[in-house]
Chains A and B, each alone.
Chain A
Amino acid sequence: MPTLSSHTSAGGLADRAFNGYLGLPRAGRWLVLAVIGFGGFTVLDSWAWPLADKLSSRADRLETVLQRASQRADGLPRDVREAAVAFGPNAVLGDEASGKERLTALIAEIFKKRNISQGQDVRPGQPLPSSIAQTLGSISDAKLGKTVAELQFKATPDAVLAIVAELEASPEVDAIGDIRLDYDPKDKRVGVQLTVEKWGFQTGAKGGGA
């Protein structure tokens, strides 16, 4: 197979192009160089470098994910372990409205199966500080809020504590706020006032927060 030097078939065109370039006046040569330089920079700046940045950012993100996963594989921090033990399972934060629905459904189910009537006041949309949203990795910069259900009921001590434990253990409840238990010796029942919280991102709301 013949060896093609830079001046052979393809080289003919290159030769002519180069000779044509040499035939240009000095200003024309500078102009050609400037056009080539600007075109090259435009290609790099508008396509190559942004693409490289995008891919590099993705690789950095994947590396961070792997590093964190590896660290977690070695064991969770003590405070997280203790919190998980104390609060029970939780769930990934979702839409506040759907969280409210699930919370009310859970409350209804718990009380229904014990045949207990409860007083209930569900107040959605109470904002949480924006710092919490940042901590919780709100990628959409959505506002974080909580649905607070205030419950009042009266039941036997066993039932009361079972209800409290079941509420707190449910992933549909992120936390139990204040609780007040009052034993009534007359009917041997415990009166309960407690608040139950479910956190979630408020759809359509951006940033801010109290």
Chain B
Amino acid sequence: MKKSQTTPTVDESLMAIAERHSNSWRVLLVRRGDRPVALQAREFPRTDEAGLASWLESQRCADLRVILPASACIVRTTTMPAAVPQQMISALRLQAEGMFLGSMPMCRIGLAVLDGADDADRQGVIMAWPEAQLGVGLGAKLETIARYVPEPAAMLLLATADRPAVLADRSVGSIAIAIRTDAGLIIRATREDAANGVDGEGDWIAGIRRALVETALNGGMEPGRIAAFADATIDSMTRDGDHMSLLDPAIRSVLESRVQTSIPAADEDEWWVSWATALAAASVACGPLADLSRLRRFEERSKPSRIERFVERYSSPPRAAAVALLAFAIIALAPVGAAWLRGLILEMKMPESARLFEGSQRQIEQRIALYGEVSKRNLPVAKILGDLACCTPDGIEIESIQVSGTQGLSVRGVAKAQGERSAAESVNQMAKLMDSSGVFRQTHWRWNVPDGRGLFKFDLDAQIVGAVRPASIEKDNDWSKMTLAERKYGKQEGRQEGSSSRDPSIASESARGDQGDSAAQSPAATERAPLAGAVAAAAPLKSDAEPAPKESAGAADGETAGAPTIANRGIGRREGSSAATGSAGSDSSKPATAPSGAGAGGGPAATALANTPVPESVTDAQLSAMSKDELRTLLSDISKARRRKDLDADTLKRLADDFDRILQQLKKT
């Protein structure tokens, strides 16, 4: 919907004269004319500029003349040469320019030529409003329609031959004096800043008196009369608050001759005295002295740009000071507020209070850094021992281990022949496994002369280069995945590879519950989750490396499941190991606890026989595709299986048939 625009109708014949007092605005609405007519007289609170503007709008008046205090004006009178009025104005302008040397905008200068007894005796008046003087401050709305009438301009009409006119306002320190003398009109505008308070009153009166004396001296009054004149003038002044005035008692007739009025209150003389300045200003604005009533604060331009308006708006010193104060406050507070707000937003992103969260994160970082520093300077001994165990093949018995962060690994042990593999080959294989594990490097070993049984002692040294790195060990050599029993006798039926406690995922969960409980109970449990998870992930390795303490074997199956890895290798293999004692009946990971099987007859040999797997039946095509070595291996397996006494007749018959077919195939190849 298009916004309806009301075009305000302005009555151009109307003019408002506004006079600001210490607590109020006094406004006279006047209709222009040779003899202007005062239509209304209103008073507004000094703070109610908006009310004044609304009233003017309601009266359709767009011409506001504001009386400028004498304290904000400079007044000069000069004798004019005899010339036509236009030439006199030009001469007066030249004088004004010479007087102010271009420092005063013309919009702030008013020029007028006063009537004289004859053309050769005329006075020119220059009234200027310096830019440094605020005068009367107005809001933007009123400023656009305001022009200013210097108070001394009104005094031109208020001074009579009988009595000087004096207007003084203590609130702004303004003193205006007009005296008609034989030499012409003496007009004075000055400022007297009196101190507030009782003592200031005396100074204020003294200031008025001094101004009167100076003005009288300037007017050529006899010095002997001056003091009496000043005293009489001050004594005759009337007072209304800060406002003091002295006017001719016959001022009503003077003003009535120039201004008409339809205001009822104008019937009283007091009203004419009270509104004398405004009425005189109205008369000035409508008469030949009108140029004195058209002062403007700023140069009039066709259409100032937005920037110009902005600059003008904030050129008012108090407003500029307010803006500067605001800017200072912003400069001071904006960085503080921005930083505080940023911190607040970041705090909101945290799952708990910033202090707790920061503390918990610092702890986590410290723990991570601690891992870094510890891993630089120390070795994970349990893991190294576990890795060493996995690199130790069957046939080697370790007697001494030394692990040092500076000297690496030193092992002393005994090697013996194992099946077709000699003792030396076993040690060589151990060195090879260690070098390929990624944990050890530059493994070398020395041995002595073998004894009569083929056993020889050896010393083995290696550098530890990847202490924390997961060892690269084949599944068949990993004790945590394949126990000694499984290696020797094959996997037991119904037993999955690796016990459930060795399943990394389950072990991790278990570790989270067991080992990570301290972290879980801390305030930052959530944030520690990655660390706790990483720590928990240690469980499989650690459980691999940790032998089960005998005291806790029954309670912690998850940990004891890995016990044979080290306990059955190296140090504890020959004597005292659980493999030898065969005591833990239900734990299938322990070799001696494997089910003996029917007909095994007891003892290790029987146990091994009972665990001998029965090879699957093979077809002729499969036999044809096999190499000679494969055929021999299969023949050996079938031969071992046929020695089992727990097999049924069909199986034995199938094994016999297979045995014959393999023999035939061997002969062919």
Contacts and interface: CB of A to CB of B under 8 A. Distances in A.
A194 interface: yes
Interface in B572-601: 572, 574-578
Interface stretch (B181-189, B443-451, B481-489, B528-536): B528-536
B134 interface: yes
Given A86-B383, A90-B374, A181-B571, A44 B468 contact: no
A176 B534 contact: no
Interface residues of A, number: 92
Contact of B366 (A62, A92, A185): A92
Nearest to A199: B370
Given A80-B534, A82-B470, A188-B575, A168 B381 contact: yes
Nearest to B50: A3
Nearest to B53: A3
15 contacts: A3-B49, A7-B318, A18-B318, A58-B343, A59-B339, A62-B346, A73-B530, A76-B531, A83-B372, A84-B534, A84-B537, A85-B470, A89-B538, A137-B369, A158-B577
Interface string B237-279: 0000000000000000000000000000000000000000000
A44 B332 contact: yes
4 nearest A-B pairs in the assembled complex, by CB-CB distance: A7-B137, A157-B572, A175-B378, A165-B546
A49 to B, nearest CB: 7
B547 A62 contact: no
B45 A2 contact: yes
Interface string B351-391: 00010011001111111111111110111111101000000
Interface string B114-132: 0000000000000000001
Interface in B457-503: 467-470
Interface residues of B, number: 106
Interface string A139-180: 100000000000000001111111011101101001111111
A132 B375 CA distance: 12
Given A7-B138, A8-B49, A83-B371, A63 B346 contact: yes
A168 B50 contact: no
B468 A82 contact: yes
Nearest to B354: A62
Contacts of A161: 382, 385, 545-547, 566-567, 572
A123 interface: no
A2 B48 contact: yes
A52 interface: yes
B527 interface: yes
A2 to B, nearest CB: 4
Contact of A164 (B347, B361, B375, B385): B385
Contacts of B538: 84-89
Residue among A12, A68, A165 having the largest count of chain B Cβ atoms under 10 Å: A165
Contact of B399 (A20, A132, A136, A182): A182
A31 to B, nearest CB: 17
A194 B466 CA distance: 21
B342 A56 contact: yes
A4 interface: yes
A175 B374 contact: yes
A176 to B, nearest CB: 4
Contacts of B45: 2
B340 A62 contact: no
Given A79-B468, A86-B468, A168-B380, A114 B551 contact: yes
Nearest to A61: B358
Contact of B382 (A4, A83, A165): A165
B628 interface: no
A88 B542 contact: yes
A63 B347 CA distance: 9
Given A183-B400, A185-B575, A69 B361 contact: yes
Main secondary structure of the interface of A (DSSP, over half): helix
B576 A176 contact: no
Residue among B48, B362, B368 having the largest count of chain A Cβ atoms under 10 Å: B368
B379 A176 contact: yes
Contacts of B193: 19-20, 23
Interface in B507-551: 515-516, 518-519, 527, 530-531, 534-535, 537-538, 541-542, 545-551
A182 B548 CA distance: 20
A113 interface: yes
B470 A91 contact: no
Contacts of B379: 175-176
A147 B173 CA distance: 86
B333 interface: yes
Nearest to B552: A162
B46 interface: yes
Nearest to A190: B571
A170 B330 CA distance: 57
Interface stretch (B202-210, B402-410, B637-645): B402-410
Contacts of B354: 62
Contacts of B340: 55
Nearest to A189: B576
A174 to B, nearest CB: 6
Contact of B405 (A1, A82, A178): A178
Given A65-B361, A175-B377, A9 B46 contact: yes
B318 A14 contact: yes
B144 interface: no
B365 A68 contact: yes
A75 interface: yes
Residue among B138, B381, B571 having the largest count of chain A Cβ atoms under 10 Å: B381
A181 B402 contact: yes
Residue among A49, A55, A166 having the largest count of chain B Cβ atoms under 10 Å: A55
A102 to B, nearest CB: 13
Interface string A1-35: 11111111101101100111011000000000000
A74 B292 CA distance: 82
A97 interface: no
A51 B46 CA distance: 42
B404 to A, nearest CB: 4
Given A62-B350, A135-B372, A113 B551 contact: yes
B107 to A, nearest CB: 20
Contacts of B136: 7
B401 A81 contact: no
